[in-house]
């Protein structure tokens, strides 16, 4: 059992090391702690000792993260073709992978079927009856699981309450008959459901009840005929400084009580819980503007570096690592993008920033680099992984040549025509 703290706050990071990294590698900069990734996975696994705990790759597909988790004994759950490829390139045995298809493009299904042809242990989860028809049309008759839509959603935002979103899964009332049909066409090995993300203490009971509904459906389908029932992820981490972390052992007990006895193996696929507090973003203050409405602090990170505040109105802690002991002052922190959505905090008490100060944005490991983009033709930042006092670059900083390469190398590019 891991005895690491259940959450890592921004104040727990080594500020001297962060300043040194910013000076050496420039900003914006993602700073990843792989040891923390492994600690979080081990803590979760210890709370569910009889379950198969996979990692939901969509939270962070960086090779440094995937290889760390594979070394820790995790299997990988993938939601797209690219994640299947990245998992195998990181060292995963394709026979252990689970592909959870959501409206999969043809190329994704082609890749998954081809991969399963040489690796029959791979499992493909379908969230629409049409997906199973498309698999059969490709000659696939291997391992499948049914993704259930239980009609119950939980999580930190309506956009992640997948359990009640018609986009995800097959209506629960249709699943028993579909299971009978699929047994004649495929090797039906499991059921899958994911009811929401970012669940914290006040939603644990509701989340567990939703999982209990899935377990009841598994018993109706015949849990003794299934290899596993996958209850997805959704377990959150506290983003606000005053929010307590999940007592994951107590959560596990609540879930076990709600689920009851099943002959099938239980599966869970945490993503955010594993990586969120294992990465921060370092950013440099470049502008201080006093207005009647607010003190505006401009930084070089933006919604192209971390889009969650713009997409979900998400709170991320921000702390000065240059001068954390200065008196706090309410400030608004925003980046260089030409949109009002490019704001990390509004009227947030932060140690009074000055130009060239380094700020850290916390809990950036989940859907941070994963959702990074090139808005305003901004090259994506570098990512470094720390190992004690040492650090290594695991993703170099993009150059403008990287941003424009797909145009420069296009067959219709002016240079290509001249050649």
Per the annotation, binding residues for pyridoxal 5'-phosphate are 234, 269-272, 367
Decide: 198 and 272 in contact? Cβ < 8 Å: yes
**Residue 150 to residue 174: CA distance in whole angstroms:** 11
Binding site membership: which residues? 234, 269-272, 308, 367
Q: Out of 137, 166, 327, 338, pick the active-site residue.
A: 338
Active site residue 338: yes
Rounded to whole angstroms, how far apart are CA atoms 38 and 92? 16
Pairing of β 123-126 and β 98-101: parallel
Active site positions, annotated: 338
């Amino acid at each position: 059992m891991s005895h690491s703290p259940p959450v890592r706050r921004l104040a727990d990071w080594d500020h001297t090391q962060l300043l040194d990294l910013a000076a050496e590698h420039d900003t914006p900069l993602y700073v990843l702690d792989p040891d923390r990734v492994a600690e979080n996975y081990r803590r979760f696994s210890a709370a569910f000792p009889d379950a198969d705990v996979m990692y939901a790759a969509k939270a962070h597909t960086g090779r440094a993260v995937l290889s760390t988790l594979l070394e820790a004994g995790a299997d990988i759950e993938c939601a797209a073709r690219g994640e299947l490829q990245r998992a195998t390139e990181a060292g995963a045995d394709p026979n252990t992978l689970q592909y959870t298809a959501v409206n999969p493009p043809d190329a994704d299904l082609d890749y998954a079927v081809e991969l399963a042809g040489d690796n029959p242990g791979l499992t493909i989860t379908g969230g629409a009856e049409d997906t199973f028809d498309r698999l059969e049309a490709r000659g696939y008759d291997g391992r499948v699981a049914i993704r259930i839509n239980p009609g119950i959603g939980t999580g930190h935002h309506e956009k992640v309450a997948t359990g009640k979103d018609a986009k995800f899964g097959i209506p629960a009332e249709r699943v028993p008959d579909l299971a009978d049909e699929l047994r004649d066409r495929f090797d039906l090995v499991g059921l899958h459901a994911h009811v929401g993300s970012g669940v914290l203490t006040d939603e644990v009971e509701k989340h567990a009840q939703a999982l209990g509904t899935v377990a009841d459906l598994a018993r109706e389908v015949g849990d003794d005929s299934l290899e596993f029932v996958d209850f997805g992820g959704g377990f959150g981490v506290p983003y606000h400084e005053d929010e307590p972390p999940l007592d994951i052992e107590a959560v596990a007990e609540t879930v076990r009580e709600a689920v009851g006895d099943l002959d099938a193996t239980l599966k869970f696929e945490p993503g955010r819980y594993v990586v969120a507090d294992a990465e921060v973003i370092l950013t440099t203050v470049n502008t201080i503007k006093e207005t009647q409405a607010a003190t505006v602090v401009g930084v070089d990170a933006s919604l192209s570096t971390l889009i969650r505040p713009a997409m979900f109105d998400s709170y991320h802690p921000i702390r000065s690592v240059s001068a954390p002991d200065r008196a706090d002052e309410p400030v608004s922190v925003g980046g260089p993008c030409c949109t009002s959505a490019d704001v990390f905090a509004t009227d947030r008490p932060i140690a009074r920033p000055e130009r060239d100060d380094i700020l850290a944005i916390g809990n950036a490991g989940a859907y941070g680099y994963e959702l990074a983009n090139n808005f305003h033709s901004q090259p994506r930042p570098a990512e470094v992984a720390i190992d004690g006092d040492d650090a290594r670059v695991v993703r170099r900083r993009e150059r403008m040549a990287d941003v424009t390469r797909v145009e420069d190398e296009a067959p219709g590019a002016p240079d290509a025509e001249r050649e």
